[in-house]
Amino acid sequence: MPTETLRSPLPLIRADGKGYTIAGESIDGFSDRPELPPPARVRLARLGERYAPKKLSPAQRDLLATPAAERDATRQPSVEQEGFQADAAEAERAWEEGVYAELSSEQQEWVSDPGSHPSLPEETRYPLTLGQIHLLTGASERQLRHWTDEEMVPAHRAGSHRRYYSTAVARTLLLAQMSSQQIATLIALRRGGDPGRRIAVMIGSVMSSVAHDSGVGEAQRENMLAAARALAENTAA
């Protein structure tokens, strides 16, 4: 390995959150590199702990238990790093809610790699600006601001600007396929109050009715009834 790489600065998270850069070199993943100086290895292990914890090696876990790792942990993550970290949790929630299952294979590719969209340059990486997510999803900038304000689409602040990550793209693509009436219903449900409560009651009633249809399987029926009960409990609360 070139000498200049060994004396390079600490690893920095890559824009897509799936790797890092060091001395101008872009590396996929966060595997340990024994040839790097200890501070660089510790930072690499710290990045792996944050962005790919299931892939940490025993050597990296040992590094994270050293005093050097404790000092590194006191460093505040950048706004961009915090955005990637929050997006990981948001993406997991979106998967559980079935958001990604509603997207086409092409749309899922755009979420995974925004640079694959024909309206954006190939080198486009997360986080995205308001203009970039507008081009990628087809939603207007006015809609995006409104949906963000209503907390339908997650955004992260970078100074006075909003920055959008993968979960925001997935949710926006889904919202862009819905009618204005459907979105208004979702917003009313989210806001709560009497309008939201009435909508929740009606949704629970419809779910219960469908669950008792003769064509619904037993497991599906139980899931739907459980969801209807949970909705009713939350509405009462």
pLDDT tens for 73-82 read: 666 666 777 7
Q: What is the pLDDT of residue 31?
A: 94
Name residue 27's beta-bridge partners: 20
Give yes or no for residue 26 having a pLDDT over 60.
yes
User: From CA 54, how far away is CA 138, in angstroms rounded?
Assistant: 35
User: From CA 16, how far away is CA 33, in angstroms rounded?
Assistant: 21
pLDDT band at 153, cuts 50/70/90? very high
Its pTM surpasses 0.75: no
From 154, 167, 125, select the one nearest 19 (Cα to Cα): 125
Give yes or no for residue 6 having a pLDDT over 60.
no
Contacts 24+ apart (CB under 8 A), 188-192: 190/150, 190/151, 190/152, 191/150
Q: Which fold has domain 79-177?
A: Multidrug-efflux Transporter Regulator; Chain: A; Domain 2 (1.10.1660)
Query: What 3-state DSSP class applies to 222?
Result: helix
